[in-house]
Amino acid sequence: MICNICNKNQATIHIQEVVNGAKKSLHICQICADAKGISVTGLNGINLSELFKTVHNTIAAPQIAQKTPDSNITTQPEIIVCSSCLWDSEKLKKTGRLGCPQCYKAFSGILGYSIPSLHRGDFHVGKKPITSIQNRNDAMVDIFRLQTKLDNLVQNESYEEAAIIRDKINTLKSTIV
């Protein structure tokens, strides 16, 4: 697969984002990844949505399909990254674990093969959850995101901003108790 940014090199980093059920893919080579400061283990701080937007706006889909790999470029194993939790296919292979519920969509290509062999079917037929508490989940997700932000702020010693975030967290928590 060719890099979506330079359209020349073999892509070795593959990012998938799923928004409202729609899947977006982004394939990047190591050189462009380095240029944009993207590393598989250090995607923290990169605005993925923005990245998707800028890259996708400049690429016409048929153009990607027509490109053929350059034989001079050394191919590296393809790495897929979950845009939600930044877990990647290498870690999945190493641990056999996924990083978050969204990983099931990001790694569907890999899991599509293994799930039927692990189970006696590929469709859930058992108990289903109660789904009337979506609002509460939204608040939990917001708190979780703010918690991550708070961790980073504390790490960078930005205590004033951290205090504001902590207040926000406490306010949100009071809504779900």
Partner 1 sequence: MKSNFDNTGILIKKPVAWLSADSTEPQIAISSRIRLARNIANLKFPITSSDNERDYILEIISGACDKVHLFNEKLSFNMSQLSQIERKFLLERHLVSREFCSGNKGSSLFIDSDESFGLMINEEDHLRMQIFSPGIKFKALWENISQKESLLNNEIPFAFDSKLGFLTSCPTNIGTGIRVSAMLSLPALTLSTQINQIIYATGKLGMTVRGLYGEGSEALGYIYQLSNQSTLGENEEEIIGRVGSTVNRMIQHELDARTLLIQNRRDFLSDFIGRSYAIMRHSYLITEKEALNALSAIRMGLDLNMFDSLDMEKVNALFVMVQDAHLQKCLRKELKPPELDAKRAELIRKFLIN
Vertex 77: Cα angle to 58 and 17 (nearest 5): 40
Task: Closer to partner 1 by CB, 34 or 138: give it.
Answer: 138
Question: Quick one: which of 34, 70, 122, 167 contacts partner 1 (CB under 8 A)?
Answer: 122
26 near 7, Cβ under 8 Å?
Answer: no
Pairing of strands 13-19, 22-28: antiparallel
Region near partner 1 per CB under 8 A, out of 36-44, 56-64, 73-81, 125-133: 125-133
Q: How far apart are CA 87 and CA 104, in angstroms?
A: 11
Nearest approach in angstroms of CB 131 to partner 1 is: 8
Question: Quick one: which of 47, 66, 71, 123 contacts partner 1 (CB under 8 A)?
Answer: 123
Question: Quick one: which of 94, 97, 157, 160 contacts partner 1 (CB under 8 A)?
Answer: 97
State yes or no: residue 23 binds partner 1 (CB under 8 A): no
Region near partner 1 per CB under 8 A, out of 11-19, 29-37, 66-74, 128-136: 128-136
Start-to-end C-alpha separation, the chain? 48
State yes or no: residue 133 binds partner 1 (CB under 8 A): yes
Question: Quick one: which of 20, 128, 160, 174 contacts partner 1 (CB under 8 A)?
Answer: 128
State yes or no: residue 147 binds partner 1 (CB under 8 A): yes
Closest to 84 (Cα-Cα) out of 43, 28, 125 = 43
Report, in this order, helix, strand and coil percent for the chain, each rounded to 5.
50, 10, 40
In the window 75-94, what residues touch partner 1 (CB under 8 A)? Answer: 84-87
In the window 148-177, what residues touch partner 1 (CB under 8 A)? Answer: 148, 150-151, 177
142 Cβ contact partners less than 8 Å away, ≥ 6 residues apart: 172
